[in-house]
């Protein structure tokens, strides 16, 4: 019997998640949770094999949650189940300790296959994503994205996240507006995103904010 739980802030997803495993006697959903503290309270009293986590949590970042699970419960595996793009967030979350990255568009069969694979101490990585991972990437070494940013890039990132416009950032830092655009482009390249919304989410996931 594979015992699993779900951490996802959306009630509709929680309800639908349970139907994935109807008539599957070897997989049992023991609980669904909206907040990370609810999950950890449950884990103190129950034995679980796999925790499945939404990337966009409302209280704590998914990266922090995966790291905490790995530290406190090293025998529990984690899977990410989200609508966010694997190409943007996959490597970061795998390095944090997750064993796989699942799209919310997957079929029931794919979900079950991923759970079975991870339960047997493997990884669930799609073939397309595997092609993006350099053979030298060490999934057990945390990504130090903060170290790849210059001090000025960090300043610009901070103001962008606060919602300041480029012209306001330029005035605050006493630099040209075109220079702010250059820093923003560098940030997006380094954090592997293509728009401001993903820039914010990636910065949050990598604990830059």
DSSP characters over 107-168? -HHHHHHHHHHHHTT--B--HHHHTTS-TT--TTS---GGGGS-HHHHHHHHHHHTT--HHH
71: left (phi over 0), alpha (psi -120 to 50) or beta: alpha
Query: Residue 100 has what DSSP assignment?
Result: B
Query: Residue 26 has what DSSP assignment?
Result: T
Q: How confident is the model at residue 112 (pLDDT cuts 50, 70, 90)?
A: very high
CA distance 74 to 8: 21
Q: How confident is the model at residue 134 (pLDDT cuts 50, 70, 90)?
A: low
Angle at 7 between CA 131 and CA 83, to 5 degrees: 40
pTM above 0.75, yes or no: no
Q: How confident is the model at residue 91 (pLDDT cuts 50, 70, 90)?
A: confident
CA distance 2 to 132: 30
* Residue 117 pLDDT: 92
Within the chain, all domains assigned CATH 1.10.10.10 are found at: 145-205
Residue that has been written with the tokens 């006493």 in this structure:
174
CATH 3.40.50.2300 for domain 2-130: yes
Q: Per-residue pLDDT averaged across 94-115, rounded? A: 89
* Residue 135 pLDDT: 43
Within the chain, all domains assigned CATH 3.40.50.2300 are found at: 2-130
- Domain 145-205, CATH number (from 2.160.10.10, 3.40.50.300, 1.10.10.10, 1.10.340.30): 1.10.10.10
- The candidate with the shortest Cα–Cα distance to 207, out of 132, 139, 147, 137, is 147
The two structure tokens encoding residue 29: 């959903």
Strand partners, 58: none
Of 55-59, 122-126, 141-145, 156-160, least confident by mean pLDDT is 141-145
Angle at 58 between CA 157 and CA 4, to 5 degrees: 125
């Amino acid at each position: 019997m594979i015992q699993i739980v779900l951490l996802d802030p959306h009630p509709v997803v929680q309800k639908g998640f349970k139907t994935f495993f109807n008539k599957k006697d070897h997989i049992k959903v023991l609980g669904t949770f909206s907040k990370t503290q609810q999950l950890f309270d449950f884990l103190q009293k129950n034995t679980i094999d796999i925790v499945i986590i939404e990337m966009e949590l409302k209280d704590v970042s998914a990266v922090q949650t995966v790291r905490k699970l790995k530290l406190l419960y090293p025998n529990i595996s984690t899977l990410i189940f989200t609508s966010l793009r694997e190409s943007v967030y996959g490597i970061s979350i795998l390095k944090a300790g997750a064993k796989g990255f699942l799209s919310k568009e997957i079929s029931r069969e794919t979900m079950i296959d991923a759970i079975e694979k991870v339960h047997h101490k493997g990884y669930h990585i799609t073939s397309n994503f595997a092609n993006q991972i350099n053979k030298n990437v060490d999934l057990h070494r945390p990504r130090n994205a903060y170290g790849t940013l210059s001090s000025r890039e960090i300043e610009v990132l901070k103001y962008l996240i606060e919602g300041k416009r480029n012209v306001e950032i330029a005035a605050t830092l006493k630099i040209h507006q075109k220079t702010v655009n250059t820093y923003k482009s560098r940030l997006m390249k380094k954090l592997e995103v293509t728009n401001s919304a993903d820039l914010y989410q990636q910065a949050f996931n990598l604990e830059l904010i």
